[in-house]
Each structure stands twice: as structure tokens, then as C-alpha cells.
Amino acid sequence: MSDRVRFAPSPTGFLHVGSARTALFNWLHARSTGGTYVLRIEDTDAERNRPEMTEGLLAELEWLGLTWDEGPFYQSQQKERHREVVQDLLDKELAYLCDADNEPVKGNQIKDGLAVRFRMPQGEIIEFEDVVRGTVSFATDDLEDFVIWRSNGTPMFLLANAVDDADMGITHAIRGEDLLSGVPKVILLLNAMGAEQPTYAHLPLLVNEQRKKLSKRRDDVSIADYRERGYLPEAMVNYLALLGWGPPDDVEIRPLEEIVELFAIEDVNKAAAFFDLKKLEFVNATHLRDLEKNDFIERAKPWIEGDATPWTSENFNQDRYLKMVDLVQEKLRTLSDLPRFVDFIFLEEPVEDPDSWNKAMVKAPFASEMLDGTFKALTDCEWNTETIKEAVTEVGESLGIKLGKAQAPIRVAITGRTVGPPLFEAIALCMDRQTVLDRIARARSRL
RNA sequence: GCCCCCAUCGUCUAGCGGCCUAGGACGCCUGCCUUUCACGCAGGUAACACGGGUUCAAAUCCCGUUGGGGGUGCCA
């Protein structure tokens, strides 16, 4: 029989990077073993459960390419089944009723206003084999009776989780280590139901710089935010796969299809992993660079066409943009970097970066001579990359400075920044002479 | 407090008793290239937490210590 795994998030309204990693590892296990990947929404907490909360979750999973084979199933729809199991446990006296003060109440019938607690056996050792952690064991003496049915008539997570996994024939429970200590209770529940227990695999937690579990409150954990900040889904899953697992051939940057071939849940390691934005940026930049040009253009559209662009749609020029793509694609770390690499060709005046101005103009004693000389040289030269480069080079040489330094004031005058695309190509291909001369003159007048 | 888990460069990892004077990647530093750079290339920095065992041999096995994390809800 083939493996059945599930990703079982609670509907918190967005997809967390830690959850995404769990989803990914489940998905990888299913795909690499020919198993089935089920999506189940654990929405037993009625107060927090609103249908729109799951929409974003599903959208982000699809964006990442982690599509499911079955589901989404909603745990809340199994309520009657859950009730049946709880009642059965009451009948067998493996559970008991209790009131709001946790005082036991006589009776063996589920009743509104009363919760149901599972009776923890004494003197037992619960032991299980975790695929990533090895043998793990708990003494029931350290565990307490726990609620399986709320007084408001809804099942608790442990109960619903155990019942649903059993009913759905889940063979492998792959999830975060934060759920490890709940396992003995689930095993007790499964035993009481006479159900088989799945194989467990507890993934190492994703942590922040303080080595604490990534949290919604203090850390950037929303997959949607990363999407909006210009990260590619293939980069996200690629990076996430590297947290807690490593490719046997040391090739880290690669497509998901290859990771599927190499992945094995047994190879996942135990230690918590720091979510390193720097490395994510590197992975993203690499995937961005590897994009075929048309694909890049397609993916970049939201950053080029929306209302949020620094230029107006009338000033945008598609032909010039397409020429710029060749010059900037390899330099970007995220797609959100794109606008500021190309904005100067579409704006009336370049955006002025104060640091750049200070560095290339104020602190460079030759800045005004460079601007004057270049203005003159560009007034009547031919308009192509080589002649423009030559002109700037010559002006620089006449002042005794190399091109690297000489181009800086020109770059800042025209683009507003010291960092940007190759300057002469951008000017020759995407700007007209008058605009360039105007910008040089304007910068000169401000020195 | 109690229970559970974890421990290789700053970070992510390779290593599963000898191939390890510990490999790769990110970051950082240096140099080269050069039209800036967030591109490329070549180098460099840097780790087996500590203490006991076991063994001819330990990063790899065992025990302890220390450190870190997680869990201990009528949240999931």
C-alpha cells in the first residue's frame, strides 16, 4: 500500500513559512514515494473559524506549487464522527465528564456545558519510533487527563486529529517538532479506538536569530509577504527544502522536480534551522537569473504595470523596457528591486538618492569637470554605446581618472544612483540625447 | 517546576567508527575583471560545546555536564 500523508493547517488566515515547509516536506514525501498528499483544514475551533481564512492559505499553497491529491477536507464537517468517538470513550469509561472548574461530573452521556476528559492511565510507558528522531518515549505518569471534547460541543484538536488521521488512512504524520509532546496522547486515543498509529516524522523547527520558533508576531513569516516582496515560488520551495535537509550531491540550487528525485524523509535532520533571509535572497537571485527572458518579463509584470510603479503609464515605454531587461535581470535579488533599476528611463527627472549624490558629486572633486566635459562630448557624438563610453573615458583621462571613477557623477546625474544597470548601454539604447544632456546640465547647475 | 527534543564554520548543511590535518553553500574579507553594482572568476576567514568512557581507532557509539529549544489551555 502506498503512503498517505497530510498537511493539516489550522485556518489562521495566511500561510506561515514554517507551515509551508511542513507542507513541502509532506508533498515531497508523497511525490517521491508515489504516495498521496491530502489537505485537511483543522478548523475545530469555531470561534476562529471563518471560511475566508482558508482562501489565502489555499492560494499560497497553489502559488508554491504544492497542490494536493485529495481535499481540502474540513475537520469541522466530521463533528458527528468525533462526537461518536468521544461518546464511545465515555461508554468505555476511558473518559469522563467534567465541569468548568475541571471537577469530575457523574454520568456518561455527552452534555452541553460539560467537557470530556480522557483518563490518563498510570504506570505506562508510551514509546514510538520517529523517522527523524528515533525512539521517543513518555511516561503516562507525567501526563495529565486532557480535554477531548469542549463544553461548547466541539472536539479538541488532539481528538479530531487522531480520529481523522485514522479515518483517512494516514500512514505518515510529518509535521513540526512542536507537536512532538502531543504524540503520546494521540497514541493513547488511537489505542482506545482500536486504530492503528501512523509513522511519525517530526521536522526540526524553523527559528529566528534568537533561536526561537518563528512567530507570527515578531518575525516575517507570511508566504504572501514574500510573494509580494518579489520572491519566486521556485526559490521559496528550493530554499525551504534546504532547511532540515541537504541534497546528497551538494547542488543546492535546483528545480523542485529534481528535489523530488533526491528527497527522503529519513535524511531529514533533527536540529532547528535558522531562516536566513540572506540565503533566501541568494537562492531567489539565482532562480531569477535562470529565468528565460520571456518568462522573466511575464513574472515581472506586477512590478512594472501596476499603479504602484514610480512612473506613470504614459511615460512607460515598452520597447525601452525590453532593452533594459537584458541589462538588469542578472542583477536583481528580488523582483521588487526591478523598478528602481529601470525607473530613470521613464521619469521626467531621476529619483535622487542622497547617499549617491554625496558620494559621487559632493565628495568627488572632479565631478563638475566630468559633467562639463561629458556634456560637451555628448553634444555631437554619434549615439551608441561605444561612442558614449569613449567620450566619457576621454574626459576622464583628460582629468587623470579612470573610467570607473569618472562615470560615477554621470551615472548619478542621469540615474540618480550609484548602483544600476550598465550605464552606457542604458543611455544609448533607452534614452535620447536631449534628456541625457538636460540631466547632466541640471546636475552641474546644482554643484 | 515537570516532561520531551536538540548540539559540526556566524548561518544552512555533508559526514552515519578509519577515506576528516572535517567537504559544499550563504555571509564576510582579499584579489582579478571592470562602466557602478546587488554579475562573473580566483583565493581566504571560520566548526566537530565540554568532561568522562567504549574501541587498535570517535565528529561519528554510550554516560554525564553545560547550553539552546519545544511542550505543559475547554488554541492548533
A443 vs A409: CA distance, rounded Å: 9
Torsion sign (Cα): A218, A221, A226, A227: negative
A69 vs A54: CA distance, rounded Å: 17
Residues 294-323 of A with CB under 7 A from strand B: none
Cβ of A200 less than 7 A from strand B: no
Nucleotide minimizing C1' to CA distance for residue A160: B76
pLDDT tens, chain A, 447 aa long: 799 999 999 988 899 999 999 999 999 999 999 999 999 999 887 555 566 778 899 999 999 999 999 989 999 999 999 999 999 999 999 999 999 998 999 999 999 999 999 999 999 999 999 999 999 999 999 999 999 999 999 999 999 999 999 999 999 999 999 999 999 999 999 999 999 999 999 999 999 999 999 998 889 999 999 999 999 999 999 999 999 999 999 999 999 999 999 999 999 999 999 999 999 999 999 999 999 999 999 999 999 988 888 898 888 999 999 999 999 999 999 999 999 999 999 998 899 888 889 888 988 889 999 999 999 999 989 898 989 999 999 999 898 888 988 999 999 999 999 889 999 999 999 999 999 999 999 999 988
Nucleotide minimizing C1' to CA distance for residue A100: B74
Q: What is the pLDDT of residue A238?
A: 97
Nucleotide minimizing C1' to CA distance for residue A41: B76
Q: How far is the CA of A241 from the C1' of B35 (A)?
A: 38
Cβ of A156 less than 7 A from strand B: yes
Nucleotide minimizing C1' to CA distance for residue A178: B70
Q: What is the pLDDT of residue A364?
A: 86
CB A85 within 8 A of CB A40: no
Q: How far is the CA of A277 from the C1' of B9 (A)?
A: 19
Residue type, A234: E
Is pTM beyond 0.90 here? yes
Cβ of A407 less than 7 A from strand B: yes
Q: How far is the CA of A201 from the C1' of B64 (A)?
A: 28
CB A33 within 8 A of CB A66: no
Q: What is the pLDDT of residue A49?
A: 59
Chain B positions within 7 A of any protein Cβ atom are 2-8, 10-15, 23-27, 34-39, 68-76
Q: What is the pLDDT of residue A363?
A: 85
Question: Which class for A399: exposed (0-12), middle (13-18), buried (19 or more C-beta within 10 A)?
Answer: middle
Beta bridge partners of A39: A7
The pLDDT tens digits for A248-271 are 999 999 999 999 999 999 999 999
Residues 342-381 of A with CB under 7 A from strand B: none
Q: How far is the CA of A127 from the C1' of B52 (A)?
A: 29
Task: Identify the residue whose cell numbers are 504524540.
Answer: A183
Per-residue three-class SS string for chain A: CCCEEEECCCCCCCCEHHHHHHHHHHHHHHHHHCCEEEEEECCCCCCCCCCHHHHHHHHHHHHHCCCCCEEEEEHHHHHHHHHHHHHHHHHCCCEEEECCCCCEECCCCCCCCCEEEECCCCCCEEEEEECCCEEEEEEHHHCCCEEEECCCCCECHHHHHHHHHHHCCCCEEEEEHHHHHHHHHHHHHHHHHCCCCCEEEEECCEECCCCCECCCCCCCCEHHHHHHCCCCHHHHHHHHHCCCCCCCCCCCCCCHHHHHHHCCHHHCCCCCEECCHHHHHHHHHHHHHHCCHHHHHHHHHHHHHCCCCCCCCCCCCHHHHHHHHHHHHHHCCCHHHHHHHHHHHCCCCCCCCHHHHHHHHHCCCCHHHHHHHHHHHHHHCCCCHHHHHHHHHHHHHHCCCCHHHHHHHHHHHHHCCCCCCCHHHHHHHHCCHHHHHHHHHHHHHCC
